[in-house]
Amino acid sequence: DTAVSQTPKYLVTQMGNDKSIKCEQNLGHDTMYWYKQDSKKFLKIMFSYNNKELIINETVPNRFSPKSPDKAHLNLHINSLELGDSAVYFCASSQGISEAYEQYFGPGTRLTVT
């Protein structure tokens, strides 16, 4: 009965490849997020979707393309992977955007680009 799940947990790939990370939440939340946590543990928001609509895009390179097929799923596709993309990517969800709510994080996907 995991609230927010991500796959895969680990991803090792070479520069130039394209990869996807999937996220699902079973909390009935309206809003989902992607965060990047770098090697210094800094957590930075990348994207946010509310009811399948993109509402936040934090100057992320065009190589990153999120997709929300429905409000329970938010996937992240990355083209032409670079060394600097190595990080832990967290998906999160919250009740909505009408006011600030607790964000529930997924287990993270550790991406290593070689």
Partner 1 sequence: GENVEQHPSTLSVQEGDSAVIKCTYSDSASNYFPWYKQELGKRPQLIIDIRSNVGEKKDQRIAVTLNKTAKHFSLHITETQPEDSAVYFCAANTLQGAQKLVFGQGTRLTINP
CB 20 within 8 A of CB 78: yes
Minimum distance of partner 1 from residue 55's CB (angstroms): 4
Distances (CA, A) of 111 to 17, 22, 70: 12, 13, 25
Q: 64 or 105, CB closer to partner 1?
A: 105
Q: Is 41 or 70 the residue whose CB approaches partner 1 more closely? A: 41
The per-residue DSSP string of 6-40 comes to: EE-SEEEE-TT--EEEEEEE-S--SEEEEEEE-TT
Kindly list the residues in this chain that would bind partner 1 in the complex (CB under 8 A).
33, 40-45, 48, 50, 55-56, 90, 97, 99-100, 102-103, 105-108
Q: Give the shortest CB-14-to-partner 1 separation in angstroms.
A: 24
Helix (H, G, I), strand (E, B) or coil at 5: strand
Considering beta carbons, is residue 40 or 70 the nearer one to partner 1?
A: 40
- Shortest approach of partner 1 to residue 20 CB, angstroms? 20
User: Which is nearer to partner 1, 14 or 59 (by Cβ)?
Assistant: 59
Q: How far is the CB of 108 from partner 1 (least distance, A)?
A: 6
Q: Which residue has the tokens 């957590």?
A: 43
